[in-house]
C-alpha cells in the first residue's frame, strides 16, 4: 500500500516507532508514542 501527501509525517514518525497504515482511508496511525 502507498499513502501519499502525508504532510509532516517524517517529522511526527520517529525511528523505531510502529505505525498502522489504512490505505482505504489514506490514514497513518502511530502505534508507539
Eight-state DSSP code of residue 9: H
Burial status of residue 1 (CB atoms within 10 A of its CB: 0-12, 13-18, 19 or more): exposed
Task: Residue 16: name the closest of 1, 30, 4 by CA.
Answer: 30
The number of folded domains in the chain is 1
Q: What is the pLDDT of residue 9?
A: 87
Q: Contact 3/23 with Cβ under 8 angstroms?
A: yes
CB atoms within 10 A of CB 3: 14
Q: What is the pLDDT of residue 32?
A: 82
Residues 1-33: pLDDT tens digits?
678 888 898 899 999 999 999 888 888 899 986
Q: Look up the domain containing 11 and give its range.
A: 1-33
This prediction has a pTM of: 0.60
Task: Residue 3: name the closest of 31, 30, 22 by CA.
Answer: 22
Amino acid at each position: 500500500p502507498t499513502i501519499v501527501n502525508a504532510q509532516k509525517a517524517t517529522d511526527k514518525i520517529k525511528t523505531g516507532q510502529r505505525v498502522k497504515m489504512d490505505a482505504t482511508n489514506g490514514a497513518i496511525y502511530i502505534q508507539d508514542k
